[in-house]
């Protein structure tokens, strides 16, 4: 069912905005009245101008992944401590300092109080709770171990977020080096070398090739800097436009995935998310056809989604999952073998999760090694550029002195 944007009056007479899942405008209006709101505006398209005026500034009010992980962890702990779902959500709502997420928690609480399951309430906020979280919560509700399921998925998120934070921290030094390289190059090209250009005037044919090259590059930057800057701005705007156009973005990503050196780095995270989500869903008792549909929602590469639709169609026709996976070239052999073992042993969900964990550990190990190599390479690059620029000037001065003598 589609999402409808709304602007309503709440119980205290204050204007609130958000989204609600419903089959049509009438159903969305009925749902908002049922939640105790008075609808002012409902839109099936993007939020209207008035809706945007009443929205908090997203930069300050959108939760981080850490906020969501803490919410799931604390909810599990409160439920384990004996509090009811309503009491737990009410307490956590008061603890939120991000307005948009606080509203989402309040609306989830309203839905739960009206008889919906927590998983169903969370599914209406896909930007906060991904498919894996919803599937884990659904599994916990089915098995009567919701509190443990919440703590488990929070622990899994903590591991993933810790790794992301570690990678982000490791990229700080290379990023600083890149800025220094670009800054040094720009400074030398636009300020230092033009000071030496009059010194070499009339002796260009006697200069070493590297000095002539650097002087020509400096002249190009200074005389056509605006053109080069315009070209860079055009490329940046083109990339923004491509990333906003789903069809163009899909073509770009598919093209990048065909490049051997980039393919594995782009595809592996999607493969891991898909396999892990599929394992969680099947392990929670969700039918394989529905589990494939839910797991496909976790994939970000459009062309992979198209291939997964073929897998789902093959499973519907009676094929084993391993047989359908064998026709997909990007499914790792390890995963395929684990799927076969899971089908034979009746532990498909467990085997899928285990293979996803192994693939994630291997990917993290490769990424860590790549980051360890990146910093020295950037240091050498910066040293090489500075050495070339300074050395070209010194060689030019020495050449002029030799010519003068």
Burial 92-101 (b: 16+ CB within 10 A, else e): bbeebebbbb
User: How is 223-290 classified by DSSP, letter by letter?
Assistant: HSHHHHHHHHHHHHHHHHHHHHSHHHHHHHHHHHHTSHHHHHHHHHHHHHHHHHHHHHHHHTT--HHH
Q: Convert the pLDDT of each residue in 202-248 to its tens digit.
A: 766 777 888 788 888 888 877 777 787 788 888 888 888 877 777 77
pTM above 0.85, yes or no: no
Average pLDDT of span 318-331: 89
pLDDT at 59: 46
Q: What angle do CA 133, 134, 137 make, to 5 degrees?
A: 85
Q: Give the SS3 label for residue 91.
A: helix
Residue 223, Cα to own-chain centre: how many angstroms? Answer: 40
- Round the average pLDDT of the chain to a whole number and report it: 81
Highest mean pLDDT among 168-172, 193-197, 314-318: 314-318
Residue with tokens 């929670």: 284
Query: Cα–Cα distance between 92 and 376 in angstroms, integer?
Result: 46
- Find out whether 1 and 22 touch, Cβ atoms under 8 Å: yes
pLDDT at 61: 64
* Phi, then psi, of 242 in degrees rounded to 5: -65, -45
Q: Convert the pLDDT of each residue in 336-362 to its tens digit.
A: 999 999 999 988 888 988 898 898 888
pLDDT at 365: 86
Average pLDDT of span 47-65: 62
User: How is 273-336 classified by DSSP, letter by letter?
Assistant: HHHHHHHHHHHTT--HHHHHHHHHTT---HHHHHHHHHHHHHHHTT--HHHHHTT-TTS-HHHH
Q: Convert the pLDDT of each residue in 112-157 to its tens digit.
A: 988 888 988 898 888 888 877 887 888 788 778 888 888 888 887 8
- Find out whether 102 and 93 touch, Cβ atoms under 8 Å: yes
Highest mean pLDDT among 48-57, 192-201, 370-379: 370-379
Report which of 149, 126, 124, 128 is spatially closest to residue 139, judged by C-alpha positions.
149
Q: What angle do CA 265, 266, 272 make, to 5 degrees?
A: 85
Two tokens at 321?
């999952």
Residue with the larger pLDDT of the pair 351 and 62: 351
- The fraction of the chain above a pLDDT of 90, given in percent, is 6
Q: What angle do CA 239, 243, 245 make, to 5 degrees?
A: 115
Q: Convert the pLDDT of each residue in 239-298 to its tens digit.
A: 888 777 777 777 777 787 777 777 888 888 888 888 888 887 787 777 888 888 888 887
- Find out whether 35 and 110 touch, Cβ atoms under 8 Å: yes
Domains and CATH numbers, the chain: 3-55 (no CATH), 63-158 (1.20.81.30), 169-405 (1.20.81.30)
* Phi, then psi, of 130 in degrees rounded to 5: -75, 180
- The fraction of the chain above a pLDDT of 70, given in percent, is 92
């Amino acid at each position: 069912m589609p999402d409808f944007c709304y602007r309503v009056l709440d119980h205290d007479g204050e204007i609130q905005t958000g989204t609600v899942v419903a089959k049509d405008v009438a159903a969305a209006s009925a749902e908002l009245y049922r939640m105790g709101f008075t609808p002012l505006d409902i839109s099936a398209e993007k939020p209207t101008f008035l809706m945007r005026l009443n929205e908090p500034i997203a930069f300050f009010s959108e939760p981080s992944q850490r906020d969501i992980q803490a919410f799931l962890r604390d909810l599990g702990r409160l439920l384990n401590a004996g509090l009811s779902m309503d009491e737990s959500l009410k307490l956590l709502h008061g603890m939120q300092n991000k307005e948009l997420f606080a509203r989402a928690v309040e609306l989830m609480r309203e839905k739960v109080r009206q008889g919906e399951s927590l998983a169903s309430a969370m599914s209406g906020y896909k930007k906060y709770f991904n498919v894996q979280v919803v599937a884990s919560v659904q599994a916990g509700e089915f098995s009567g171990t919701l509190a443990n399921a919440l703590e488990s998925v929070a622990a899994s998120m903590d591991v993933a977020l810790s790794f992301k934070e570690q990678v982000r921290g490791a990229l700080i030094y290379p990023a600083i080096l890149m800025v220094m390289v670009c800054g040094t190059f720009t400074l030398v090209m636009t300020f230092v070398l033009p000071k030496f250009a009059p010194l070499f005037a009339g002796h260009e044919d006697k200069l070493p090739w590297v000095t002539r090259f650097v002087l020509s590059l400096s002249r190009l930057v200074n005389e056509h800097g605006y053109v080069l800057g315009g070209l860079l701005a055009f490329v940046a705007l083109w990339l923004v436009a491509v990333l906003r156009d789903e069809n163009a973005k899909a073509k770009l990503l598919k093209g990048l995935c065909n490049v051997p050196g980039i393919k594995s780095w782009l595809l592996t995270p999607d493969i891991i998310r898909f396999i892990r989500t599929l394992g969680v869903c099947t392990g929670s008792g969700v039918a394989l056809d529905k589990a494939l549909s839910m797991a496909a929602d976790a994939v970000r590469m459009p062309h992979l989604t198209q291939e997964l639709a073929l897998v789902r169609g093959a499973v519907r026709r009676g094929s084993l999952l391993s047989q359908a996976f064998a026709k997909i070239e990007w499914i790792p052999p390890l995963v395929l073998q684990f799927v076969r073992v899971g089908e034979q042993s009746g532990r498909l969900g467990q085997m899928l999760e285990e293979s996803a964990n192994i693939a994630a550990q291997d990917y993290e190990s490769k990424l860590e090694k790549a980051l360890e190599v990146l910093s020295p390479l950037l240091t050498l690059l910066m040293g090489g550029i500075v050495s070339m620029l300074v050395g070209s000037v010194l060689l030019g001065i020495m050449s002029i002195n030799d010519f003068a003598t």
